[in-house]
A and B are shown apart, each in its own frame.
Chain A
């Protein structure tokens, strides 16, 4: 047992301060992105979610330029972009797609500008890499309270709006008929998504944030069809991906090339992807088994063995 543990967790794993912070931040962020992301996937807004993350990198680099923590920059710009996307292209699918694309293009343009200015104004090189690809081990301890508070607020808002969000995702006309303020709800939701994406950007980087916002929820929605259950499963899948990612990244210091840790973000993304594939395979096998069962059903019915194949099972 001890040996297994030692093989799994590299020496010093449990004693390391950055690791503790990373485990806490990662879990909190994964829970929030899981809950928020289920609606992102149901509402078909994966593109918007991704765009907010990348646009956020403009804010991250601007904040760096001004000497603030990137999180505030991420969030400021992502919230503005969310408002723009909602205001520009609305109900029609193509208009929405184009509006998101243009906001993304303009936001990336800004990011290019700020990163360029970052690079020329300071001698530090890796700014672009840190902002775009993140590093969970580098999350500063002072940010911990802010991250936890923001996460709590997001979760509370999602819990309050849960039923309204579900109804309006199903059909915005239906929701409007029931007196749901669909427009305001849409903007509020995008703002919450912007916060969640910013939190994810702070942990695994702006352009990988999508992995946490889309991956675990999509996995959960493959495993369970109930939206309430999906919120929980998505959170658990996300936490699993982040924690396992942290463990592997910590271990990777001892892999080739020795003395060089692999980025946490890579492990998290790879695990998220793996979970999604496995969930697909699991449901695929279950589906195939059910189909095989039904294919024999018509013959049974024709020969008079069972009038309702469902009862025969």
Chain B
């Protein structure tokens, strides 16, 4: 149980920070596609008998590079969709060959936070620090290319490289979190809290901070309720994310209405 809390906390911090940039760049599809597609790699790794994390990592990084490469030559959302289905299609193929798939696929997709072995905590923490360091390094160019790509280009920022770097960070985050919390949980944790924070605050720094806090609150609440009810954590995280964003939107709309009439 302690391990679960630690793992959930680590994942929430990372998802909160990465999620801020995902929402800022309107990259929810990519943030969904990379972890989800990487699941195919885990299935392949299980089939050939290596550690699923290796398979996840290979597919996540391959997917990130593939989406970056295809997106340069066509529409970005089309590239993402096709890279995703290709990886998932391979996953379907690998799954059809392995014998004991049902339980494994279920936990990879929807997460089983309630049983984290303690020797997985250290790698998660390490990769998490790497993710956040990489984002700190890319912070300013990421912001600039998100706001005015033309100016970024004029100032010598290679938008494509920054984009690829960002995709690789998402891939890194996916590799370490998916085996622990599953595809669904990671994705929901990246979008819901960050979007809620973004609609409640004005400065990027506050938005990142609030995003992390909300992610922590969401995951702690979800784990607790899941523990009590025995229902999947992913269900609670997904719903909590949507509900908190909905509440934030209603609240800001109300407040704007009140200041307008005042």
A contacts B directly in the complex (CB < 8 Å)?
yes
Interface positions of A (Cβ within 8 A of B)? 41, 44-47, 49-50, 88, 93-94, 97-98, 100-113, 115-116, 119, 125-129, 132-133, 205, 207-208, 210-211, 214-215, 218, 222, 257, 260, 262-263, 265-266, 268-270, 272-273, 276, 280, 284
A86 to B215, CA, bound (A): 26
B157 in the interface, Cβ–Cβ < 8 Å?
Answer: no
In B1-42, which residues have CB < 8 Å from any A CB?
Answer: 23-24, 26-29, 31-32, 36
A100 to B26, CA, bound (A): 11
Decide if A276 touches B238 in the complex (CB within 8 Å).
no
In B162-214, which residues have CB < 8 Å from any A CB?
Answer: 184, 187-188, 191-192, 195
A110 in contact with B97 given A46-B77, A97-B26, A101-B187 (CB within 8 Å): no
B160 in the interface, Cβ–Cβ < 8 Å?
Answer: no
A257 in contact with B97 given A50-B84, A98-B195, A218-B82 (CB within 8 Å): yes
Sorted nearest first, the 8 A-B pairs with minimum C-beta distance are A109-B238, A269-B89, A101-B28, A105-B188, A112-B110, A46-B77, A47-B29, A125-B102
Q: Write out, one digit per residue, whether chain B residues 93-112 have a CB within 8 A of any chain A CB (1) or not (0).
A: 10111000110011001110
Decide if B187 touches A105 in the complex (CB within 8 Å).
yes
A265 to chain B, nearest CB (A): 5
A102 in contact with B192 given A46-B80, A269-B88 (CB within 8 Å): yes
Which of these, A105, A110, A214, contacts B81 with CB under 8 Å?
A214
Decide if B86 touches A273 in the complex (CB within 8 Å).
yes
A157 to B49, CA, bound (A): 50
Decide if A94 touches B26 in the complex (CB within 8 Å).
yes
Decide if A109 touches B102 in the complex (CB within 8 Å).
no
Decide if A269 touches B110 in the complex (CB within 8 Å).
no
Contacts of B132 in A (CB 8 A): none
B237 in the interface, Cβ–Cβ < 8 Å?
Answer: yes
Q: Write out, one digit per residue, whether chain B residues 28-69 have a CB within 8 A of any chain A CB (1) or not (0).
A: 110110001000000000000000000000000000000000
A8 to B97, CA, bound (A): 24
Decide if B231 touches A113 in the complex (CB within 8 Å).
yes
Q: Which partner residue on chain A sits nearest B96 by CB separation? A: A263
A109 in contact with B81 given A98-B191, A119-B102, A208-B88 (CB within 8 Å): no
A111 to B241, CA, bound (A): 16
Q: Which partner residue on chain A sits nearest B85 by CB separation? A: A211
Q: Which partner residue on chain B sits nearest A92 by CB separation? A: B26
Decide if A119 touches B106 in the complex (CB within 8 Å).
yes
Contacts of B246 in A (CB 8 A): 88
B149 in the interface, Cβ–Cβ < 8 Å?
Answer: no
Interface positions of B (Cβ within 8 A of A)? 23-24, 26-29, 31-32, 36, 73-75, 77-78, 80-82, 84-86, 88-90, 92-93, 95-97, 101-102, 105-106, 109-111, 184, 187-188, 191-192, 195, 231-232, 234-239, 241-242, 245-246
Contacts of A107 in B (CB 8 A): 238
A105 in contact with B191 given A46-B77, A46-B78 (CB within 8 Å): yes
B30 to chain A, nearest CB (A): 9
Decide if A210 touches B85 in the complex (CB within 8 Å).
yes
Decide if B97 touches A260 in the complex (CB within 8 Å).
yes
Cβ contacts A to B, 21 pairs, < 8 Å: A97-B27, A101-B28, A101-B31, A104-B32, A105-B184, A106-B242, A109-B232, A109-B237, A112-B110, A113-B231, A125-B102, A129-B92, A133-B95, A205-B92, A208-B89, A211-B81, A263-B93, A265-B92, A266-B96, A269-B92, A273-B89
A207 to B110, CA, bound (A): 14
Q: Which partner residue on chain A sits nearest B101 by CB separation? A: A129
Which of these, B80, B84, B232, B242, contacts A105 with CB under 8 Å?
B242
Q: Which partner residue on chain A sits nearest B22 by CB separation? A: A101
Which of these, B88, B101, B234, contacts A112 with CB under 8 Å?
B234
Extra pairs beyond A102-B192, A116-B110, A129-B102 (7, CB < 8 Å): A44-B77, A46-B77, A50-B29, A128-B105, A207-B88, A265-B89, A272-B82
Q: Which partner residue on chain A sits nearest B188 by CB separation? A: A105
Which of these, A106, A210, A270, A272, contacts B239 with CB under 8 Å?
A106
